[in-house]
A and B are shown apart, each in its own frame.
Chain A
Amino acid sequence: MERIGKYELAAMIILFEVGSSSLFQLGAKANRDAWISMLLAFAAGLLLLGMFLYINGQEGRRNFADTLRRHFGRWLGTLVAAAYSLYFAYESMRNVRDFGDLMATTFLTNTPISFIMLVLILLSGYAVYKGVEVFFRTVGILLPLVGFSYILLIVLFFASDVLRTDRILPVLEDGIAPVLKAVPSIVMFPFGQMVVFLIFWQFAQDKSFVPKVSICAYLVTGTILTILNVCNIMILGAPLAGISSLPLLHAVRMMTIGAFMGRIDAFVVMLLFLALFVKATLWYLSSVVVLGQLAKRTDHRAFVAPAGVLIYFASFLEPNYIYHIWIGIEVSTLRIFPWFQIALPAALLLIIAVKKRRSKR
């Protein structure tokens, strides 16, 4: 049986959550108050995390597909688990496409995107083939590198005089309404994506450390993301941060320290690549693991290739990056994600709670 340690779990949560979120200006609709929306969504996400952790706590070592089957009944449970697997594959495909387009706009402008994505999916497929334990340990190795880089980046932002505090003033100019409007989509992306750990918590070496480690790691990511969000606005100003397709990259490019340190954007692109790889792979892995659980096989490896092919070809469905982003923001985040991140877990929680009450009586 594969097992995950404390540190590996924390590392995965941090890399996964920071992941592709630093690509976008989250809460751009709230303009210069985006960071407030961010904090509110962060708090709401904490509630969701509590819900996921509660469900996990009740189920011991039972795997996710079995949990669903047990509470939703055999047929409905299987259907829901299959839907989750598909949802995870979709999320993975989104990250693969993000990766492809990021590469194509920054570094490899002449390389066909199909090739870039092929390399990524092969690499991800290899990690998924190796299984949960190996992938979590890989991320454990990557975390110091990525963590150090992000901290360095934030320090450099403060060291070079690009931060202008007056760019986030006045706070709440148009009242709280626009800020609240931006919250739901941030809850779904990235905070609600913690739902993926419903699959992986059962692999923890000792289940007692799961809640504490998960919440701590979640707090760390929320802080990093909020700081980066504020930095983006203070460097670019809300209008530019809003129109930029890669705000963090733009912000970094504005920075020069002295006359010699500039152009560290290559370094940031590398950071984004790493984060996207981790994210795409974890979604891919979770999709495959759920399929394995549905088939009642301990070995999920048979599903690596079919899922990989599906993800790879699905990533070509969208005609362009604009459409990809549009569908992500307008359709997926608000119409599809809530089902998997809120509605289904809430239904599960309700059933578990009712059953528990009955059995007590």
Chain B
Amino acid sequence: MKRAGQMLFALFGLFVLGGCWNRVELNELSVIMGTAIDVEDNQWLTTFQVIIPQAIASQTVGGGGVSQSPISVFSTKGDSLAQAIQKISLESSRTPFFAHNRILIISEKAAREKGVSQIVDFYLRDGESRETVDVVLSKGPAKSILEVLNPQEKIPANAIDRIFYETETQLSFARRIKLSEFAAMLVTPALSAVAPEIRISGEREHRQSIDELAQTRQKAVLKIGDIGVFRKDKLAAWLSRDESIGIAWLSDRIENSVISFPCSDEEPESRRSTFLVDRSRTKITPVITSDTIKIKAAIDAHGTLDETGCNVNLSKPESIKLMEGQIKKQIERDIALSWKRAQALKTDIFGFGDKVHIHYPRKWKQLEQQWFDKLPDIELVSDLRVSIRRTGMINDSFSSKVKE
């Protein structure tokens, strides 16, 4: 009798501990790689990029022929985000699975009108989606971004993530903003959140066709565009690419970058050289006196000369000095451009407010409320140290040899 009871108990355990209540079958899932959020008729319009597993598998084996699109895109509408997402089941044969979602594209309209708080709340609250998803903005409808195929990657959402990674590490003017970081920026009172824009460049009507992949030059490609600046949780303005490189300099985010600079103040603009930044450090120190606020930016950058069209003798240390002077001027111009724009917009995209908060916690209490209004009166003093460490595989400029 006792034995039978034990057996029964063990059997019961088997059933319970299998966890079958929450079973998820792999072939019943649709893996969502990218999400786009638009606003239409005051409703949320969510668009999803879903992997077609068979299409991806066949391409790896066959290699040659392109027959089926590796992804499928569909849109749903709802009064709330969760409702819109639930409506997938009206048209999808599989359960949506969000854990592999790589990018979240928010349209300008949604970011301007509705604000992003609700979207962030939804993502932080939901257990399945990751906080490491990249937040991206789009000027046009966000859904169309997800329709563009990329020749180099099978899954376009992965391609977008990779494009950001490449830009971040090679050019530094735009970087990936993860949802976690985006949320942290939004809740820091004196910081204005930023997020990069992605756009379709080329002929938009060709973007959806799988036949596109048979061409060597795509008619439509995805490209990183401007940087969106937020005021509270609403999109307020765009910074152009030229205006945004200064953000990277002032917030110590330069990993690698190329700076093209003129040979000298007198020479024509057409002759320029390029400096490749290997490493850079920026130290921001606010200095507050009784009536003025100054922000000191000490930047220390070094790198390699990448190309030159100038007629210089690079074996002489003084010509290197001259070039360094030109690079400094170029960086100063870049920084000034960003700073002026930020001042005009009354947004703090560099986190200067945070620095003041840390250095002057007492004074910050009075400044906090009117920080953004104070921005135009703040003086930015930059102190640059640029050093060209190496000049690559040749010393003297090739141009100078041609002329002799």
Interface set of A (CB-CB < 8 Å, partner B) = 105-112, 115, 119, 166, 169-170, 173, 236-237, 239-240, 244, 250, 253-254, 256, 262-263
Contact call A262/B130, Cβ cutoff below 8 A: yes
Contact call A119/B17, Cβ cutoff below 8 A: yes
With both beta carbons as reference points, the residue of chain A lying nearest to B358 in the complex is identified as: A169
Instruction: Show 6 residue pairs from A and B whose CB-CB distance is below 8 angstroms, ordered by the A residue.
Output: A110-B22, A111-B19, A170-B357, A240-B184, A250-B124, A256-B132
Q: Mark B19-54, 1 if CB is under 8 A from A, else 0.
A: 101100000000000000000000000000000000
Specify which of A112, A169, A263 is in contact with B130 (CB 8 Å cutoff).
Answer: A263
Alpha-carbon gap, A166 to B357, bound state (A): 10
Report the minimum CB–CB distance from B142 to chain A (whole Å): 24
Specify which of B21, B178, B188 is in contact with A111 (CB 8 Å cutoff).
Answer: B21
With both beta carbons as reference points, the residue of chain B lying nearest to A168 in the complex is identified as: B358
Report the minimum CB–CB distance from B366 to chain A (whole Å): 13
Contact call A106/B127, Cβ cutoff below 8 A: yes
Q: Mark B252-293, 1 if CB is under 8 A from A, else 0.
A: 000000000000000000000000000000000000000000
Chain B interface, number of residues (Cβ within 8 angstroms): 22
Specify which of B16, B178, B354, B357 is in contact with A254 (CB 8 Å cutoff).
Answer: B178
Q: Mark B169-199, 1 if CB is under 8 A from A, else 0.
A: 0000000001010011001100000000000
Known contacts: A253-B131, A254-B178. The answer to whether A115 contacts B16 by CB under 8 A is: yes
The interface residues of chain A lying within 8 Å CB-to-CB of B21 are 108, 110-112, 115
Give the secondary structure class of B's interface. Answer: helix
Report the minimum CB–CB distance from B125 to chain A (whole Å): 9
Alpha-carbon gap, A7 to B121, bound state (A): 45
Report the minimum CB–CB distance from B187 to chain A (whole Å): 4
Contact call A166/B354, Cβ cutoff below 8 A: yes
Alpha-carbon gap, A23 to B80, bound state (A): 30
Give residues of chain B (285-329) contacting chain A, Cβ–Cβ below 8 Å: none
Contact call B358/A109, Cβ cutoff below 8 A: no
With both beta carbons as reference points, the residue of chain A lying nearest to B125 in the complex is identified as: A245
With both beta carbons as reference points, the residue of chain A lying nearest to B359 in the complex is identified as: A170
The interface residues of chain A lying within 8 Å CB-to-CB of B188 are 237, 239
The interface residues of chain A lying within 8 Å CB-to-CB of B19 are 108, 111
Alpha-carbon gap, A239 to B358, bound state (A): 16
Alpha-carbon gap, A107 to B128, bound state (A): 9
The interface residues of chain A lying within 8 Å CB-to-CB of B202 are none
With both beta carbons as reference points, the residue of chain A lying nearest to B179 in the complex is identified as: A254
With both beta carbons as reference points, the residue of chain A lying nearest to B189 in the complex is identified as: A239
B99 interface contact, C-beta 8 A:
yes
The interface residues of chain A lying within 8 Å CB-to-CB of B22 are 107-111
Known contacts: A240-B187, A254-B178. The answer to whether A170 contacts B358 by CB under 8 A is: yes
Alpha-carbon gap, A112 to B21, bound state (A): 9
The interface residues of chain A lying within 8 Å CB-to-CB of B358 are 166, 169-170
- Given contacts A108-B21, A111-B19, A237-B184, list 10 more A-B pairs with CB under 8 A: A109-B127, A169-B358, A170-B357, A237-B187, A240-B183, A240-B184, A244-B124, A254-B178, A256-B132, A263-B99
With both beta carbons as reference points, the residue of chain A lying nearest to B165 in the complex is identified as: A259
The interface residues of chain B lying within 8 Å CB-to-CB of A170 are 357-359, 361
Contact call B131/A250, Cβ cutoff below 8 A: yes
Contact call B131/A262, Cβ cutoff below 8 A: no
Alpha-carbon gap, A119 to B21, bound state (A): 13
The interface residues of chain B lying within 8 Å CB-to-CB of A173 are 361
Report the minimum CB–CB distance from B190 to chain A (whole Å): 13
Q: Mark B99-132, 1 if CB is under 8 A from A, else 0.
A: 1000000000000000000000000100100111
The interface residues of chain B lying within 8 Å CB-to-CB of A111 are 19, 21-22
Alpha-carbon gap, A106 to B187, bound state (A): 25
The interface residues of chain B lying within 8 Å CB-to-CB of A254 are 131-132, 178, 180
The interface residues of chain B lying within 8 Å CB-to-CB of A236 are 180, 184
Q: Mark B213-255, 1 if CB is under 8 A from A, else 0.
A: 0000000000000000000000000000000000000000000
Alpha-carbon gap, A166 to B187, bound state (A): 15
Contact call A262/B132, Cβ cutoff below 8 A: yes
Report the minimum CB–CB distance from B201 to chain A (whole Å): 26
Alpha-carbon gap, A254 to B22, bound state (A): 25
The interface residues of chain B lying within 8 Å CB-to-CB of A169 are 358
Report the minimum CB–CB distance from B350 to chain A (whole Å): 13
